[in-house]
Structure 1
Amino acid sequence: MRMRVLLLGKSSLLGRALNVQAAAEDIEFLTLDDEPAQWQPEEIAGWLEYLSPDAVVDLSFYHQQFQVLAPAAEALAQHTRFAEQLIAECRQRDLLLCMLSNTRVFDGSKGQPYTEKDPLQPIGLHGEQQAALDTLLEQRCRRHLLLRFSWVLDASEGGMLQRLVSQLCSEQTVVLAEEWRGNPTTVADAARVVLSALKQLDCNAELYGCYHYASGEMASWISFARTLAQELVSCGQIEREPGIEPVAFETQPAAALEPRNAVLSGRRLLYTFGIKPRTWRIGLPELLN
């Protein structure tokens, strides 16, 4: 890769997956020697001056964006301050800035998959914060890549996948929301998408903007849970599939934080970058092992 790409958040699970895939293609990112426990906006200018990147991939708050059910207001404010400063610094230097977005920017009332043209109607404080950052990036940074994902699955303790695994392993009937739909996406698949887009932008293709990635198979949370339970039985983590009791989506804590419909359309990404969707089923065994 000709571009010098600074990867912020190399220690996140998505950062690790991205580094592994890049190394397999002899691609090396610029990284900080010691990533801070708390990302401070006043340090950004120094990093950019010292490392002189051509592009920045920001995964610094990946876990909070995709794995934490209800981030604290203070944590959201910290993310906002950091992202705002990063956008300002990249704009000043005309650097390519790649950031991530999630489906909390939509209220879930649409009956069809969400496209990049749909207006942002965020749900909850996290959604409002994400929508504000998405808008700021698109308005301020000419050279930007905003990649929006639905349900990103990784092996982080307390993350989206592990919370469901804990429920299924509890030996009790599992109560899950009906009609909660999304695109399960393994962290390795998300890394593939990020790397594939960067490689094309490295060829001076000015394909800036917002793109949705939709994995190859939409699922309801209950259908995903049943598939997950089958995998847990296969790998010996549980003896039998637990009973699942469907309940109204509105009765679950996630209803105040997540859109009922988190399904995305990935047509623009496919037609522009040629990045084909993959089914989440392929990577599920690896995540559980």
Structure 2
Amino acid sequence: MRMRILLLGADSELGQALLHLAAAEDIAIDAIERPAQGWQPEQLKGWFAQYQPDAVVNLAFYHQHFQLGCNDADSLVLQRKFGEELIALSKQADCLLFLLSSARVFDGLKSTAYTEKDALAPGDALGQLHVDLEKRLKDNCERHIMLRLGWVLDGSPDGQLVRLLEQLRSGEPLLLAEEWRGNPTPVGDAARVMLAILKQLDCAAPLYGTYHYGSSEASSWISFVKSLAQELMASKQLEQVPTIRSVPFDQQLDSVWEPQNAVLASRRLLMAFGIKPRAWRSQLPDLLRQLN
């Protein structure tokens, strides 16, 4: 790869998956893990000077955004300052900036999948942060990628998938929302898409802008959990069929605050980059094996 890529957040689950795929293709990426004192905006200038990147991929706060749904006010202030400084330095260096956003930028009231043309209407502080950074990126960096993701499934001990597995194995009834819909997306699939985008941009394809990705097909959360339970039983990791009860969306605590409809249409990504979505069901066995 001709571009010199700097990855922030290399120790995250998504960062590790991206580095693993890149290494398999002999693609070198300069990787920075979370510093002992945490991510601070003041660190960025030194990294730009040291690595002189042609492209920066920011996963610094991936875990807070996609596994914890963190809405802590002090944390969001820090993330805003970090994002704004990163955008300013990328503009100054005229390098490509690759950021992640999420389905939280939408209100979840639409009955069909969200496209990149739909109006933004965040329902919480994290969603508003994504909206604000998206706008700042678009206004300041012509060479940028904003990739919106939905339900990213990884092996974080305190992440959404592992918490769900613990609930399933506990034998206690699960109270889940039938109305909560999205695209279950294994972390390896999200990494595959990110690397494919970077490889095409390395060929000087001017395909900048905002894109959606979610593994196919869209599912309710309760349907996803039932499929997960079937896979666990087939692999002898679950002894009995769990009891699952449907509850209204606003009574499901696990959703934190996410749009009731978090389904993202990936057509624009397919048309621009030729990246086809993969079915999440076929990826479940590999994902679960990685957790054992």
Question: Which category describes the TM-score, using the shorter chain as reference length?
Answer: over 0.9
Q: What residue in structure 2 maps to residue 36 of structure 1?
A: 35
Task: Read off the aligned partner of 1:81 and give its amino acid letter.
Answer: K
Q: CA deviation at 1:236?
A: 2.4
Residue 238 of structure 1 aligns to a residue whose secondary structure is coil
CA deviation digits over 1:225-283, x for unaligned, max 9? 00111122122222012111001112223566100000011110000000000011222
Identify the range of structure 1 (253-262 vs 19-28) with the bigger mean alpha-carbon deviation: 253-262
Aligned runs of 1:1-289 on 2, under 5 Å? Answer: 1-32=1-32, 35-37=34-36, 38-253=38-253, 257-289=257-289
Contact 1:69 1:254 in 2 (8 A): no
Instruction: Give TM-score scaled by structure 1 length.
Output: 0.96
Gaps of 5+ in 1: none
- In structure 1, distance between residues paired with 2:70 and 2:8: 23
SS of equivalent to 1:10: coil
Q: Is the 8 A contact 1:101 1:130 kept in 2?
A: yes
Q: CA deviation at 1:207?
A: 0.6
Distance in 2, Cα, partners of 1:95 & 1:240 = 53
Question: 1:4: how far off?
Answer: 0.3
Distance 2:71 2:125 in 1: 9
Paired residue type of 2:3: M
* In 1: Cα distance, 2:254 partner to 2:121 partner: 17
Name the SS of the counterpart of 1:75 in structure 2.
helix
SS of 1:15's equivalent in the other structure is helix
Indicate the SS of the match to 2:98. strand
Change (3 A) 1:156 1:138: same
**Structure 1, 195-204 or 167-176: larger mean CA deviation:** 167-176
Q: Is the contact made by 1:180 and 1:220 (CA closer than 8 Å) also made in structure 2?
A: yes
Once the two structures are TM-superposed, the CA of residue 31 in structure 1 deviates from its matched residue by 2.0
- 1:87–1:140 Cα contact (<8 Å) kept: yes
The alpha-carbon deviation at position 284 of structure 1 amounts to 1.4
In structure 2, list runs of 5 or more residues that go unmatched.
Answer: none
> Secondary structure, in 3 states, of the residue corresponding to 1:117?
coil
Q: Deviations over 1:183-220 (max 9, x none)?
A: 01000000000000000000111111000013121110
Q: Identity of counterpart residues, as a percentage? A: 54
SS in structure 2 at match of 1:262: coil
Secondary structure, aligned partner of 1:98: strand
RMSD: 1.3
- How far 1:148 moved relative to its partner? 0.6
Counterpart-to-counterpart distance in 2, 1:277 and 1:123: 27
In the alignment, is the contact (CA less than 8 A) between 1:70 and 1:257 conserved in 2? no
Counterpart code for 1:62: Y
Supply the AA of the counterpart residue of 1:186. Answer: P
Once structures 1 and 2 are overlaid, which stretch shifts more, 248-257 or 40-49?
Answer: 248-257
